Amino acid sequence: MHFVQFGYRFFAGAAALILLGMSASTYAADQIGGVVVDARTEDPLPGANVVIVGTRIGAVVDSEGRFTLKKICSGSITIRASMVGYLSTTSELDLDGDREKVVIRLDPADLRGREMVVTATRTEKHRRDVPVIVNIVDEKIFEDTQSETLADGVVFQPGLRVENNCQNCGFTQLRINGLEGGYSQILIDGRPIFSALDGVYGLEQIPTSMVEQIEVVRGGGSALYGGNAIAGTVNVITREAVNTGFDITASNAFVNGGTDDQKVSVSTSYVSDDQKAGISLFGLARFRSPYDHDGDGFSEIVKVRNGSFGMRSHLRPDPLSKLTFEFHTLNEDRRGGNRFEFEPHEADIAEWLEHKVVGGSLAYESVLSTEELHEFEFYVSAKRTARDSYYGAGRDPNAYGESLDRTVAVGGRYSKSLAATNDLTVGMDIKFSRLEDEIVGYQRFTDQSITTVGAYAQSDWKPADRVNFLLGARVDKHSLVEDPILSPRANLLLSLSEQSQIRLSGSSGYRAPQTFDEDLHIESVSGEALLIEFDPNLDTERSWSGSGSFDYSFSNPDYYWGFTLEGFYTRVTDAFVLEDNGQDAAGNFLLLKKNGDGTVVAGATLDLRASTWKTSFQAGLTLQSSRYDSPVEWADGLFSDRILRTPGFYGYYTASWKLTPVASVALSGTYTGPMDLPHYAGFIAEDRLERSDAFCEANATLDLDLELGGQLPELELKVGIKNLFNSYQNDFDRGIDRDAGYIYGPRQPRTIAASLKVVY
């Protein structure tokens, strides 16, 4: 109750700050004007921010690079100019000189290492200045790797793997540092609206045309973002309009030379001449046929029909505040199994799902001072996922179901410099979710509502030039947990020199009891419905994570190179396990969710990167051990102390070359080492534990950029091959009795793709 009362007071205060921020202004008596340009090309930089240090007087650069600062005093002032992708700069101006010809030149940021990030601290900082390692997946990686969805692109970072866990439904999960998908927190623009239901298929439903960049923080993040951020946090930052333009892309891929995968995407943006308002829109249509690799009539890759649409708009009431609205809708029909020309219940095996997702957010942020950190943010976001489904075998007419998940999150943040060396951030958020799942034929009904109220505080303290402490804690009151949950964190950044840094981190996290969607999954091989029951003594999972890293980088105006070596350790106590609990009166098989022993994941990653203005290279290697404290029974009478489906060694690489002003080449790939896999009886005589082979997946792309000149559009032609050497699983089960979960390795065989992009 105290949390709720505190929440009401917090949001009332935030609303008052919004009104104050939108109405406050400071004026004096004159004006100056000028332009902001790229220091290398002298091209104008529309959208750059220009402010007078120590005041709230500022401007946003217009479409021609011009700005005007109105009603200022005579004398001398300090102007700060900044823009994403460029190094900010300050200039001393004598107002007794020419006031209409001020030229500010911004240098492009280093190609790697100087990007601006927000996920690690909830405030915008240079990546190198954050005491937590933040990995970035940006538009260049999406293009170089031919990534169409979030699931395609996020794997090109150290410690991350996306795997396909089912031939019948195409269920994918993101593993961070070896832990299962349920241990990762996925955010949309920093908002926790990616629910458990979305986590099962949502990675493939988010198109890259919607994404500006993805920020990944590995290790415990519960101190800022609450539950499930045990393995790490993935923040999907949606695309914002920075200029006016339009593009359309049509592509077609042929899986193993035959099965087609067609996509059409549209993206357009508009920004007003004064840069005070802008809107970006995206749309995607995708049609993929089912793919049968071994000719047994059952799919290994599911059929997909996807239609997505979204927008993000912003309005700047003044140069130091911004109102942002984001909306997206994702509609998808997917099906695996066999007999696709018939209704799902007329197939021998079918897993069919139709998703209708609607989500969005409204946020207001304001900078109250440009001389120091002094800003606040307030947001409300919501998401609704409706799903019709069929999970069944043996032509069972009772396996149709419906699921409805609704999530609402409201939060606010206030950040202020308490002193020259200490920035304080405090915030609060409230999240409500309700999941209803029903399969009438099996008399299976689930209705679960969860409310979480959390408050956090963080101190970003820099007692010396080369020392930075990040200390924080969060308290959550979860409606399914009796006592409040405390999640502290401590991070240390030691700058040994301009080129080298040491980071040390320690944090705790938690995962509260809830019925995750995949726990509701029906075993399609047997057609038996499974129900989850909670042990009366079920307790919260807790985690303790630690990491240490050494980072070295060197840059000059012509090239950049660097590496990061990191060691990590995560211990999870009271881990959730499922055990057989008989049958209910309707004949449903029951599984009991209870606390088991702990797990320990430990390892090391090496991240390599280098770039010039024509070439780029990045690679990551992960070596890890993932084990239970004591052997766990994964099948009747069969035990293992290893976390299954987790290799001890894996990695990735991306590389690109600008061959000519028109042509460029990109190579990319992933390596997955051997791992233990469960293989259940059906096609095989009895359950057994398998050891997979290692897999290397290599991709290649040729990109041609053609500028037709004049008023004609720019054309971009891409031709590529994914999984160039066809490194694909060759021991799938066959027929109706197969174990559909016995799938591993690359998510698709050799695939040839071509696309044409038209840019206006």
Q: How far apart are CA 473 and CA 490, in angstroms?
A: 9
* CATH number of residue 61's parent domain: 2.60.40.1120
Report, as an integer, the average pLDDT of 465-475.
Answer: 94
Give first-to-last CA distance, the chain, whole Å: 55
What's the pLDDT at 299? 94
| Enclosing domain of residue 99 | 31-106
Whether residue 101 is found in the same domain as residue 127? no
Q: Which of 569, 481, 533 is nearest to 226 (CA)?
A: 481
Q: How far apart are CA 235 and CA 188, in angstroms?
A: 6
The pTM assigned to this predicted structure is 0.85
Does 351 reside within a domain?
yes
Q: How far apart are CA 198 and CA 357, in angstroms?
A: 9
Distances (CA, A) of 667 to 144, 724, 749, 752: 7, 10, 17, 14
pLDDT at 46 exceeding the cut of 70: yes
Q: Which of 106, 107, 128 is nearest to 117 (CA)?
A: 128
What's the pLDDT at 6? 44
Bridge partners of residue 576, in order along the sequence:
595
What's the pLDDT at 620? 96
Q: Which one-letter amino acid corresponds to residue 334?
A: R
Confidence tier at 99 by pLDDT (50, 70, 90): low
Whether residue 551 is found in the same domain as residue 614? yes
What does the DSSP 8-state code read for residue 473? E
Q: Which of 169, 162, 212, 225 is nearest to 507 (CA)?
A: 225
Tokens at 368, concatenated: 């109250």
Tokens at 569, concatenated: 């350790």
482 contact partners, CB below 8 Å, separation of at least 6: none
Whether residue 53 is found in the same domain as residue 190? no
Phi, psi (degrees; rounded to nearest 5) at 554:
-135, 140
Residue 454 host element (H or E): strand 444-464
Q: How far apart are CA 583 and CA 577, in angstroms?
A: 18
What's the pLDDT at 57? 77
The H-assigned helical ranges of 57-146 are 139-144
Measured in residues, the chain has a length of 760
Domain end marker among 84, 106, 128: 106
Tokens at 264, concatenated: 């059409």
Of 528 and 233, the structure prediction assigns the larger pLDDT to 233
Whether residue 581 is found in the same domain as residue 506? yes
Whether residue 71 is found in the same domain as residue 219? no
Does 24 reside within a domain?
no
What does the DSSP 8-state code read for residue 585? T
Distances (CA, A) of 119 to 202, 282, 421, 427, 493: 20, 24, 21, 14, 17
pLDDT at 10 exceeding the cut of 60: no
Whether residue 291 is found in the same domain as residue 325? yes
Does 150 reside within a domain?
yes
What does the DSSP 8-state code read for residue 209? G
Domain end marker among 106, 128, 145: 106
Whether residue 268 is found in the same domain as residue 325? yes
* CATH number of residue 204's parent domain: 2.40.170.20
Whether residue 130 is found in the same domain as residue 234? yes
Q: Which of 145, 1, 76 is nearest to 655 (CA)?
A: 145
Q: How far from the centroid of its chain's Cα atoms is residue 244's Cα? A: 26
Does 82 reside within a domain?
yes
What's the pLDDT at 56? 66
The H-assigned helical ranges of 196-344 are 196-201, 222-225
Does 20 reside within a domain?
no
pLDDT at 442 exceeding the cut of 80: no
Phi, psi (degrees; rounded to nearest 5) at 3:
-65, -45
Secondary structure E strands in 394-442: 400-419, 422-439
* Parallel/antiparallel/unpaired status of strands 245-255 and 751-759: antiparallel
Contact predicate 593/534, CB 8 Å? yes
Q: Which one-letter amino acid corresponds to residue 176?
A: I
- 255-291: pLDDT as tens digits: 998 899 999 999 999 988 877 899 999 999 999 999 9
- 598-646: pLDDT as tens digits: 999 999 999 999 988 889 999 999 999 999 999 988 888 899 999 999 9
Of 759 and 1, the structure prediction assigns the larger pLDDT to 759
Distances (CA, A) of 617 to 128, 139, 216, 559: 19, 15, 19, 12
Question: Residue 222: helix, strand or coil by DSSP?
Answer: helix
Whether residue 684 is found in the same domain as residue 707? yes
Report, as an integer, the average pLDDT of 159-168.
Answer: 90
Whether residue 125 is found in the same domain as residue 46? no
Q: Which of 195, 188, 185, 192 is nearest to 237 (CA)?
A: 188
Question: Ramachandran region of residue 569, left (φ > 0), alpha (ψ -120 to 50) or beta?
Answer: beta
Whether residue 690 is found in the same domain as residue 712? yes
Question: Residue 115: helix, strand or coil by DSSP?
Answer: coil
Does 677 reside within a domain?
yes
Whether residue 60 is found in the same domain as residue 149? no
What's the pLDDT at 729? 94
What does the DSSP 8-state code read for residue 110? P
What's the pLDDT at 66? 87
Q: How far from the centroid of its chain's Cα atoms is residue 343's Cα? A: 35
What's the pLDDT at 206? 84
Domain end marker among 75, 106, 137: 106
Residue 70 host element (H or E): none
- On average, the pLDDT of the chain sits at 85
Does 310 reside within a domain?
yes
pLDDT at 524 exceeding the cut of 50: no
Ordered DSSP codes for 685-731: SS-EEEEPPPEEEEEEEEEEEEE--TTSPEEEEEEEEESTT------
Question: Residue 158: helix, strand or coil by DSSP?
Answer: coil
What is the domain count for the chain? Answer: 2
pLDDT at 113 exceeding the cut of 60: no
Highest averaged pLDDT of the listed ranges 344-358, 387-401, 521-535: 344-358
Does 296 reside within a domain?
yes
Spell out the long-range contacts of 636-645 with Cβ–Cβ below 8 A and sequence spacing 24 or more: 636/687, 638/687, 638/688, 638/689, 640/676, 640/689, 642/676, 643/178, 643/179, 643/180, 643/599, 643/601, 644/675, 644/676, 644/677, 644/678, 644/689, 645/163, 645/165, 645/675, 645/676, 645/677, 645/678, 645/744
pLDDT at 5 exceeding the cut of 80: no
- 62-82: pLDDT as tens digits: 878 888 887 666 667 888 888
